[in-house]
């Protein structure tokens, strides 16, 4: 014969509510933290995310006169590179390292184009040996406003595959964090 023990009325309901509350509490805390603007340190981007993003609907021209569209059906990201008029030895050294950003994407390297918006100074040879590099002219005014001519060192920006200018990196930006930001976006 089995003996049944009597439970207090509503005890099962309390246990169920405690379990639901235990699972819901982290989501509530995350929502509150997001609402007050808290972002964990590891999730911030190095570049400045532009809000609102500027659509680059006008086309540019390459050096040979071909049309260059920022919005691409092939889903290419475009790394924009501005060069100062007076580029010193450190600037030239950093310019020679910019193609490494594309090459270190490995199998995803084909999804990133590098667009040079200014003439290169003497001594920059790294762009000659890789593909996916475009020398642009006749630039859209929105692009020139969003990424002005730098004063002392190169400056970079990023255009998404839909043709929106979405991120600007500071002048004299470290290339490793730039590569890390681009690696998170280019899939």
Residue 95's CB is within 10 A of a number of other CB atoms, namely 22
What is the domain partition of the chain in residue ranges? Answer: 9-38, 43-185
Mean pLDDT of 2-7: 63
In the predicted model, is pLDDT for residue 1 greater than 60?
A: no
pLDDT score of 182: 92
Q: Please indicate whether residue 98 or residue 10 has the higher confidence score (pLDDT).
A: 98
Report whether 62 contacts 136 (CB < 8 A).
yes
| Mean pLDDT lowest among 38-47, 70-79, 177-186 | 38-47
In the predicted model, is pLDDT for residue 75 greater than 90?
A: no
pLDDT band at 179; cut points 50, 70, 90:
very high
Mean pLDDT of 15-40: 90
Mean residue pLDDT of the chain comes to 88
pLDDT in tens, 103-141: 999 899 999 999 999 988 888 888 888 888 999 999 988
pLDDT score of 5: 64
Mean pLDDT of 51-58: 86
> Which two three-digit tokens encode residue 103?
């090459």
Give the predicted TM-score (pTM) of the model.
0.76
Mean pLDDT of 36-63: 83
In the predicted model, is pLDDT for residue 169 greater than 80?
A: yes
Fold of 43-185: Glutaredoxin (3.40.30)
Query: How much of the chain exceeds pLDDT 90, in percent?
Result: 45
Strands of 112-116's sheet in order across: 48-55, 164-168, 155-159, 77-82, 112-116, 133-137, 60-62, 67-68
């Amino acid at each position: 014969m089995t003996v049944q023990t009597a439970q207090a009325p509503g005890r099962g309901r309390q246990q169920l509510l405690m379990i639901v509350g235990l699972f819901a509490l982290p989501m509530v805390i995350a929502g509150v933290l997001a609402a007050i603007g808290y972002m964990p340190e590891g999730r911030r981007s190095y570049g400045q995310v532009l809000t609102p993003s500027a659509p680059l609907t006008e086309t540019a021209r390459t050096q040979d006169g071909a049309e260059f569209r920022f919005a691409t059906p092939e889903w290419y990201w475009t790394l924009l590179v501005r060069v100062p008029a007076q580029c010193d030895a450190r600037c030239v050294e950093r310019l020679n390292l910019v193609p490494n950003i594309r090459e270190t994407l490995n199998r995803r390297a084909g999804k990133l184009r590098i667009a040079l918006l200014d003439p290169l100074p003497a001594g920059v040879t790294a762009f000659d040996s890789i593909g996916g590099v475009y020398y642009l002219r006749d630039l859209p005014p929105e692009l020139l406003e969003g990424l002005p001519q730098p004063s002392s060192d190169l400056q970079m920006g990023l255009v998404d595959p839909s043709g929106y200018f979405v991120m600007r990196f500071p002048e004299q930006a470290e290339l490793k964090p730039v590569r890390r930001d681009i690696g998170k976006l280019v899939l």
